[in-house]
Structure 1
Amino acid sequence: MNRLSVVDEIFLRAHRGMGTPIALQGLWRTADPLDEKLLRGIHNRLRIGPLGRRVVRTRVPGARPRWRHNTQAHPLLVAEQPIAPAALLDWADGQAGDLDPEFGPGWRLSAAALADGGCLLSLTCSHALADGRALALAVDHALAGTPLAAPVAGHSDWADARRQWATVLGGTARALRNGIPSRPTPSAPRTVTLPAATDIPPPLTTSAILQIPARSWTRVAVAHGGTANSLFIHLVANMLWDSGFRSPAIAASLPVDTRDEPRVDNDMSMTEIAVTRDDTPATIRQKARAAYEHRMTSPGGIPEELLQVIPDRWAHTLSKGAGERDILCSNIGTLPDSLLSLGPHPCTGVAARALHPGLRPDALPRTRLSAYLTRIADIYTLSLVGLDPDAIPTHTALTTLARNALNTYELPVTSW
């Protein structure tokens, strides 16, 4: 589709400060150095690939913004000095700034040599460009030439506007026959007070990346009547409780991949479940199965396309906090095998997650812990982002929470 979807525009508004800023990141870790010629080749293939696009506004009221091919890109960034493996996550966390899906490049490729002789490669992109699955597809396309679905040709601006207004006006009229729907009350932004007497403020987010053998993960899930996904949700909920979260129930937001063919876009919807302390991987499996049949929708049956024909500030007010719950559990799924190596260099680890560049201490989201699960070959990788600096102040604290939860099931784990 060469027009932005409702989800695309929610992420675009977040990029402009209306909502929680989100950038996606893929990380590759190798045991040996990567030469710059190889990196430049990957950079060039990404530049001319599906991530090479930007948003173009239309002047026709109601017509959706369009995607336009854009081969301009941030230069390949290679760290001047090797970084210590202990500082790997700090470096990775800093690679999501200055991404602009509308007026400038929306993605960046960067690399850093590690002091132990290895290398870390980072690809970040604005969430307006792609979701987690799409980022993996874009890299697979760049590394292996795997074909993607061709973009669907769009209508003219005037034709698109007519279709949008017809959908909004007709759908709203049908919905209002049942009365004016009440607008959901968004949760108030959380605020954290940073110490005043410091030159460098502490980070608002923390990170952890852990690898678990797929055979062990599957064995534990099956032994407890669950699936790999329900075990994932169960573990993340327990991490939040272990951090000091006091509510007896945790609202979990679950992204759902809705693409029926390989496309690089935001082809996803959201659903949610409530997790209680009595839940097990088996009961969460049942809750999630039911939830996937009932996705989050706009209130009262009002067409979600309404958000695309009204001013951005109004649309932000109506959709504020959409999809945000106590935890986010994003199961990105199995990654393509092409991501297992970079040229002749096998990867010792591959991870995917989201970052929040520009997050403000007076506007933290409701979400306190975000988790991303991927599988490649015989390894599951669990990437965690803590969004509660009071309860989870450091990378070490988050890694300890994760290790304790995994140790409950005697899962072997290696942390980055």
Structure 2
Amino acid sequence: MNDPMNRLTPEDDLQLKTHSILPNLMTPQGVWVFDEPLPKETWIRVNEHLAAGFGSRRVRRTRIPFARDWWDTPLRTHPVDFDDRPVPENGYLDWIWEKGEVDLDPYEGSVYRLSVSPTAAGGQIISYVVSHVVLDGLGGILAVGDTVARMDSDAPPSRTESAGRLVGTTPAQRRRRAHLADARGQLKEAGRGMRQAWGARKVKLRPRNPRPELPRLPLGNRWIPSVTMAEISMAEWNRVAAERGGTVNALYIGVLVGLYGRIGRVSDGDEVCVVVPHSTRVDMEDPRGNALSSKAIWVTYREGTKTDLGEIRRALKASLSESDVENKPAAAYLGAITQMAPQFLVPIAAKSTKSPELLCSNLGNLPQVVAGIQGKRAKVAFGLRMAATDPDNYRRWEAGLMCLCGNDGETMIMQIAGLDPDRFPTRESLEKLVVEEFNEWGLHPTFWG
């Protein structure tokens, strides 16, 4: 039978399990800075559209063993957070961090919040933060894009006519029958996954570079990850990429490998594992909240000189042509089994979780539909807000460096997050290393305050 419910995928379930241990550890966040303010009524309407849209959903739990949870419409959403305190230009990053601190509840449906403040320069700054349980970064862009498009066409908020229709709901009848059918399907999928895992038992992942235990700074029991926003001219970026025989993306990875090498976690000649996320979203009708996969490439760090962009281009090309079947480890086939795992096992499994050494996500040229509203253009940045927690957590995860970027054709804006507390203890220490590495390439970033 066709399932009448939009079920959580293994990727959704992974985010939900993470949320159960460390709520809102990693939340997608979009930021817009307008030169001129829009009236409060406009943002109230935007919020009404968001509340009926693609990102407004909640998790419904099933009592049928092995059946998956499903998505439904929310019980409650957050109102717009209007904060009338003017934000100075050198206070944007602190404001972004503050507005990302919000209780997002995937079971209730209060999974996003829109915040609005005036800028000291007479403009307006906007934050849209959303739970990673319900949306990945591109999903957030799609939710915002659909809202802006409907606002610009003067369409009313509508769950049935907007992308919110893809979320699904709960049928009035035959729910138990649907759950039993899903449970049978999941058991079959688990069996198939176990057979595939057995076939992949000899596939081994390359070991990552170990994180040195020293230095270990006295940071107390709560550390805020060091995050900055850097702007760079696309003309300058394209020129340097061409001079070095690389592409925009190869230069992006090359510069970040050099930055990673500067913190002392790898030595000259070591290969850094770079995780490059990519979307698996099929089309605009894809109902999945999280639809991401990733490729890992290995790039040689060269102390005292620049990363070889040709090596990166070859590695990226090879990663696209490699067969996933040949390179998938056994654990990658066990999504259905992981989704069935009882909650009490989650903290045990989480103890062995590792964060990427270096994650580089490039959103490319952002769709024009998310670059403004009702004819007013804005400076736009997207990133992931990493929560403050005990620095020992980030040490245990062996977290390194994470970067997300996008551009409007003229300017690239990069969110760079230093997640190693002993090597990026403060934003200032991160920005100092960014300037040193970027200047080495002939790049001249400016930072948000």
TM-score (norm 1): 0.88
Deviations 1:375-410 (A, max 9, x none): 223222111112123222322332332233222232
AA at the equivalent of 2:370: L
Shift of the 223–294 alpha-carbon distance from structure 1 to 2, 3 Å rule, reads farther
Does residue 356 (structure 1) correspond to residue 377 (structure 2)? The answer is no
Q: Are 1:250 and 2:265 counterparts?
A: no
What residue identity is the alignment partner of 1:276? T
Query: Shift in Å at residue 185 of structure 1?
Result: 9.4
Superposed CA deviations along residues 64-101 of structure 1, whole A, max 9, x for unmatched, are 11010116211111224112222211121122331122
Q: Identity over the aligned pairs, expressed in percent?
A: 27
**Matching of residue 144 in structure 1 with residue 149 in structure 2:** yes
Match of 1:277 in 2: 301
Amino acid corresponding to residue 400 of structure 1 in structure 2 = K
SS at match of 1:16: helix
- Number of equivalences: 411
Matched to 2:131, the amino acid is S
Counterpart secondary structure, 2:99: coil
Instruction: Judge conservation of contact 1:251–1:326 (CA < 8 Å) in 2.
Output: yes
For 1:376, the aligned partner's letter is D
Q: How does 1:182-221 map to 2 (within 5 A)?
A: 194-195=218-219, 203-221=223-241
1:352 positional shift: 0.6
Change (3 A) 1:37 1:55: same
CA contact (8 A) 1:34 1:119 kept: yes
Residue in 1 aligned with 2:69?
Answer: 65
Paired residue type of 1:314 = L
Q: Which runs of 5+ in 2 are unaligned?
A: 154-161, 170-176
Counterparts of 2:385 and 2:279 in 1: how far apart (Å)?
19
Distance 2:92 2:331 in 1: 46
TM-score of the two chains, using structure 2 as the length reference: 0.82
1:32-71 pair list within 5 angstroms: 32-70=36-74
Per-residue CA deviations over 1:291-345 (Å, capped at 9, x if unaligned) read 2445574526643211112213435655766672211111123211022223343
Q: Within 5 A, what are the aligned runs for 1:54-93?
A: 54-70=58-74, 72-93=76-97
Distance 1:291 1:314 in 2: 33
- RMSD over equivalenced CA pairs, Å: 3.2
Provide the rounded CA distance (Å) in 1 between the counterparts of 2:199 and 2:251.
43
Question: Any residues of structure 2 matched to 1:3-402 within 5 Å, and which?
Answer: 3-17=7-21, 21-70=25-74, 72-96=76-100, 97-145=102-150, 148=163, 151=166, 156-173=178-195, 175-176=197-198, 194-195=218-219, 203-247=223-267, 248-262=270-284, 263=286, 265-278=289-302, 279-292=307-320, 293=322, 297-299=328-330, 302-314=333-345, 317-318=348-349, 324-347=355-378, 349-364=379-394, 365-402=397-434
1:403 aligned partner? 435
- Between the aligned partners of 2:407 and 2:201, the Cα distance in structure 1 is 46
Structure 1 stretch 13-22 or stretch 104-113: which is displaced more?
Answer: 13-22
Is the CA contact (8 Å cut-off) linking 1:134 and 1:265 kept in structure 2?
yes
Q: Which is worse superposed, 281-290 or 301-310?
A: 301-310
